[in-house]
Amino acid sequence: MEKLKYLPVLMYHNVLPRSRAKVWNNFCVELSEFEKQMDYLVKAGYTALNLLDLEKIVKGRKDAPEKPVIIALDDAFAETIKNVVPLLAARKLKCIFPVVTGYLGKESGWEKENPSYPVVSEAQIRENLGPLVSFESHSDRHLHLDKISIHEVETELKTSRSILEKLTGEKVRGIFYPYGSYTENVKRIAAANGYIFGFAVNSSKKTVLEDLLEIRRVYIKPSDSLSAFKRKIAPWYLWFRGRREAAKQREESRMNKVGVFLDRDGTLNLEKDYLADPAGLELYPGAAKAVKELNRLKLPVFVVTNQSGIRRGKFTLKVLTAIHEKLIRLLKTETGARIEAFYFCPHLPEDKCSCRKPKLGMVKKAVLDSGVDPKLSYFVGDKSADIELGKNAGGKTVLVLTGYGKKEKESMKVTPDHIAANLLEAVEWIKKDIGLHEKP
């Protein structure tokens, strides 16, 4: 196990002759240079692992080789597979192709700024699959997993794994995060969906063994000489890089646990007594901009709302779902903003449920779903119940003076940490409180 602490996980994309590249950039490596690098691995005594090997070593069912290495070629480009598989087979080196399953047999089209290339087809996977060649997940659509909702992340990971396992008949063990992007929530969802390993470009961990869902990778670029390649995979360099990146990402890791809990009616959208029709939904001016700013700061936004209108017979769950779907559309149309998840309580006060604000049922569900820390989070609303909710959760609170805010301000049972005119001003205060506010 000690030998895995500084396991080099090589990251390539396109490996091809320079003349075959549409644009020569940092996602390309000259085939002849790749061959020299592989020759060095063989000469230096490295043993290439696949993720079955890695699982067995981690679980104590197999000894680690003296010099382990993982060779992964992201995006599984069809031409790259044709170029490198024979070369690696001749050297008895195992390799992994992380696949974007939504693009099987198609042109890669997930990056407008980079040219597209044909992605591996189902037939090509079946043709190459074997002891030396394995295929793992690179998600379904190659999205930034840290910029989409937890439900979208789950769909991406679950879909990709299901497609690959049906296609190959093999267990999918690893997710190679697109763009190297991940959060604690992404890692948690990956584990919940059966992934054992997660691979990132950077990591907050000092060594591989600290977190198997946050394994650091070694990005091989076209400008890397053979000397630079040797340096990048050396244990001393991986040791140094681990400590440097761990210090840098420690604060980012803390920020991943901060969430923002928003009331709905009177905070995001105009207060209307028991809103029972999606046609009546109207966002407050600046609300979409406020949510978009929280998205930009990578702070997950949750809506927690009491909706006793269901229990009172004023509208149905189907109508409530339609209202939330329209809210999602309005946010997206105005600014491209998104809500991480909606949580609602359908009960009456006399039902004495555990979810009606200011009780913590909805917050606890969000914490389980996302991994945010309520004590580090912010709670925004126009009623006393919203402020009490935040206080009960141990977080910070903002009363907005929209909706019932002005009236509630006069009879508050608890004192909010801040009072803002509207949601946009509330977000500005949150930024200042966290320390993210831009200096003039």
pLDDT at 209: 79
Do 231 and 207 fall within a single domain? yes
Do 63 and 130 fall within a single domain? yes
- For the chain, how many structural domains are there in total? 2
Residue 218 lies in a domain: yes
Residue 15, pLDDT > 60, answer: yes
Do 273 and 247 fall within a single domain? no
Write down the pTM of the prediction. 0.66
Do 268 and 218 fall within a single domain? no
Which of 230, 253, 276 delimits the end of a domain? Answer: 253
Do 235 and 314 fall within a single domain? no
Residue span of the structural domain in which 161 resides: 2-253
Which of 224, 253, 282 delimits the end of a domain? Answer: 253
The catalytic residue positions are 263, 265
Residue with tokens 């993982």: 70
Split at pLDDT 50, 70, 90, the class of 144 is very high
pLDDT at 439: 39
Stronger pLDDT, 197 or 239, i.e. the higher one: 197
pLDDT at 172: 98
Name the helix (H) or strand (E) containing 370: helix 361-370
State the average pLDDT over residues 191-204: 92
> CA nearest 133: which of 69, 89, 176, 181?
89
Do 227 and 108 fall within a single domain? yes
- pLDDT 10s digits, 32-51: 999 999 999 999 999 999 99
> CA nearest 138: which of 124, 155, 157?
157
- Judge whether 93 and 53 are in contact, CB under 8 Å: no
Do 278 and 246 fall within a single domain? no
Distance CA 427, CA 253 (A): 21
pLDDT at 248: 67
Do 231 and 303 fall within a single domain? no
pLDDT at 254: 60
Do 294 and 426 fall within a single domain? yes
- pLDDT 10s digits, 256-286: 689 999 999 999 999 998 999 999 999 999 9
Mean pLDDT across the chain:
93
Residue 361, pLDDT > 90, answer: yes
pLDDT at 241: 82
Residue 404 lies in a domain: yes
Rounded to 5 degrees, what angle do the CA atoms 122, 125, 128 make? 150
DSSP line for 188-252: HHHHHTT--EEEESS-SSSSGGG-TTSEE-EE--TT--HHHHHHHHSHHHHHHHHHHHHHHHHHH
Residue 440 lies in a domain: no
Q: What percent of the chain clears pLDDT 90, i.e. is strictly above it?
A: 82
Do 347 and 424 fall within a single domain? yes
Do 159 and 137 fall within a single domain? yes
CATH of residue 299: 3.40.50.1000
Residue 35 lies in a domain: yes
The 8-class DSSP code of residue 310 comes to T
Which of 228, 253, 278 delimits the end of a domain? Answer: 253
Residue 99 lies in a domain: yes
Residue 252, pLDDT > 70, answer: no
Stronger pLDDT, 254 or 98, i.e. the higher one: 98
CA–CA distances in Å: residue 74 to residues 71, 213, 285: 10, 17, 43
Residue 437, pLDDT > 60, answer: no
- pLDDT 10s digits, 62-95: 999 999 999 999 999 999 999 999 999 999 999 9
Do 242 and 369 fall within a single domain? no
CATH of residue 41: 3.20.20.370
Residue 270 lies in a domain: yes
Distance CA 197, CA 214 (A): 8
pLDDT at 249: 64
pLDDT at 440: 36
Residue 439 lies in a domain: no
Dihedral, CA atoms, 38, 43, 46, 50, nearest 10 degrees? Answer: 40
pLDDT at 184: 85
